[in-house]
Amino acid sequence: PARHTVKQRRWRAHQKQKLYSTQLSLPVPTVEQIVEQDLCLSSSDESFQDNLIIDDDEFEDNLIYDNNYDLDLNADLIESNGSIKHLFIMPEEYLFDFALKRFVEQELDESLYDGAPVTFKFYHKKILEFGNLVKLNDFNMNKLLKLIGSALPIGNKLVKSYRKLVSIFQEQPSFNEVLRCTKCLEIINNNNYCSIICERNQCQRRVADVIEHVSVDRSNRQLIEIIRRNKHLILNYPQLVDKLLPCDVLTGLVYEKKKKYLQTTFNDTFPITLMLHIDSTPVVHWIKKHTWLVTASIVEIPPPLRENQFNLLLLSLWNAPVKPDADSLLKEVCDTIKQTLIIDEIKFSIDVLLFKADLPARALATKHVHHNAYYACLECDQEGMWCEEGRFVTYPYIQSSINLPTSAHFDICAKLVHQQFSDDNYLGVKGISPLTKILDIPTQIDLDVMHLCFIGHCSLLLSKWEKMIVKETWYSGNEFLNRMK
């Protein structure tokens, strides 16, 4: 083989044998990253006006990006009272553009020193902008800060290092990041310690021997931002859902029951109800690791905004060569998801409406047997029959009545398995699922309409309709659906 081919093979072999660091270190961001953290994507407000911009001369320190990503020093998107004014654009095609930017609420600033003409935050931001413009490294930035500090009066508040300068504008992450062992699933600390009974304890670990687990923390910053962006939709849509979308999930019995209980218990509290979703998806094309995502959407936000990527909550992420167990993936989420939040002096109660997933993910989360087992149905207790000819489990029609299990039935079966009265499962139940803390099984476990209907039956219908519809109309409909992503 050619010389460059041999070098590439050696490089790939070296990458496979590369050891994995057990410490999660966050790099120091550049000025562009810091400015991006001060900007977030906007959604709708109650006025539904296009390109709504509120001028305010009080905050001259604000920066936004225009369509060409150039800095605009004179554009302000903050009202004079300091509250955020959201933007909303609705084009002719009735699609929602979430590519608008807004500022986070600016905090009150203090002077750099007594009698200074500039504020602490403004002055340090200008230093960061200059350092990024001339591309100074960490060492030269420290020298620049020392030089500036020597010319300022004694008692000034100028920071002494570049790292402290960056920390002024760096927001705290809203996620917890941990590394887990692929053998025992325990958290690996900085000393490479996982579990005393694990064979890989304090051993060198390669990339394929480590689980990367990310979960949302208790600050709920992500959820608060979504609620604040869509506050007026959340407050008004449930009152109009019967007229706008009478078949929406908000008109179901489970939601009506939860809403009625909340209104009778707390008169001044509004519901925020979540739909949980779990799926395994190949985020990166690497056969040694797969990614499991736990996401949620707010049902009080009307579709199609409800499923928009900027209104989806990321609750947990599992990137590993092994399949997660329900407790490691969902326990922390289920322990913290139900709570009460006060946003803009409005009290919201967070609850869970339903859980949806494909059959393998549903079996994982509910700790139930898979769809090809003998007690695969969550809705009844019918036992399947083995078909030797086709070599699969069948569920023939039975004329006699079948028992419909309740949440109490699942709890009893899970306790029997937990007390080791059954080795594998009891009537299909394999253990106590963490989902039982936040919802009722099987009442709030939704059917997998994506795999049961859309991917199978609808794909067949679309292939038939394509031959019957004019090409221009078909392409326009395809473009419409693509723009809704």
- State the average pLDDT over residues 132-161: 90
Q: What is the mean pLDDT of the chain?
A: 77
Q: Which of 315, 319, 329 is nearest to 290 (CA)?
A: 319
pTM above 0.85, yes or no: no
Tokens 């779990």 locate to: 278
- Report pLDDT for 460: 84
Q: Which of 229, 237, 420, 223 is nearest to 339 (CA)?
A: 223
Integer Cα distance of 434 and 336 in angstroms: 12
Give percent of the chain with pLDDT exceeding 70.
76
Report the DSSP pairing between strands 210-216 and 313-320. antiparallel
Integer Cα distance of 81 and 160 in angstroms: 33
pLDDT exceeds cutoff 70 at 92: no
Integer Cα distance of 130 and 467 in angstroms: 60
DSSP 232-277: HHHHHHHHHHHHH-TTSGGGSHHHHHHHHHHHHH-TTEEEEEEEEE
Q: Which of 328, 333, 358 is nearest to 184 (CA)?
A: 328
Give pLDDT tens digits for 375-385: 888 888 888 88
- State the average pLDDT over residues 354-367: 90
- Report pLDDT for 17: 58
pLDDT exceeds cutoff 80 at 7: no
Which pLDDT band holds residue 318 (cuts at 50, 70, 90)?
very high
- State the average pLDDT over residues 288-299: 90
- Report pLDDT for 4: 66
pLDDT exceeds cutoff 50 at 80: no
- 182 contacts 230 by C-beta, under 8 angstroms: no
Among 50-64, 186-200, 286-300, 318-332, whose mean pLDDT is lowest? 50-64
Which pLDDT band holds residue 18 (cuts at 50, 70, 90)?
low
pLDDT exceeds cutoff 70 at 168: yes
- Report pLDDT for 480: 85
Structure tokens at 227: 């609620």
pLDDT exceeds cutoff 60 at 214: yes
pLDDT exceeds cutoff 50 at 59: no
Structure tokens at 288: 């040694």
pLDDT exceeds cutoff 90 at 461: no
Give the residue, 131 or 46, on which the prediction is more confident.
Answer: 131
- 246 contacts 328 by C-beta, under 8 angstroms: no
Question: Percentage helix, strand, coil, to 5, in the chain?
Answer: 35, 20, 45
- 351 contacts 338 by C-beta, under 8 angstroms: yes
Q: Phi-psi category of 344—alpha, beta or left, where left has phi over 0 and alpha has psi -120 to 50? A: left
Give the residue, 189 or 170, on which the prediction is more confident.
Answer: 189
Which pLDDT band holds residue 97 (cuts at 50, 70, 90)?
very low
- 349 contacts 258 by C-beta, under 8 angstroms: no
pLDDT exceeds cutoff 80 at 205: yes
- State the average pLDDT over residues 275-285: 80
Query: CB atoms < 10 A from the CB of 250, how many?
Result: 21
* CA geometry: angle 72, 86, 109, nearest 5 deg: 60
Integer Cα distance of 127 and 159 in angstroms: 11
- Report pLDDT for 285: 65
Residue 212: burial class (beta carbons within 10 Å; 0-12, 13-18, 19+): middle
Report CA Rg, the chain: 28
Cα–Cα distances (Å) from 19 to 56, 168, 176, 208, 256, in that order, read 53, 34, 23, 10, 53
Structure tokens at 378: 């969550």
- Report pLDDT for 21: 54
pLDDT exceeds cutoff 50 at 49: no
Give pLDDT tens digits for 405-421: 888 888 888 888 888 76
- State the average pLDDT over residues 450-458: 76
pLDDT exceeds cutoff 80 at 276: yes
How does 31-40 read in b/e, with b if 16+ C-beta sit within 10 Å?
Answer: beebbeebbb
- State the average pLDDT over residues 59-79: 33
Q: Which of 106, 111, 104, 129 is nearest to 58 (CA)?
A: 106
Which pLDDT band holds residue 144 (cuts at 50, 70, 90)?
very high
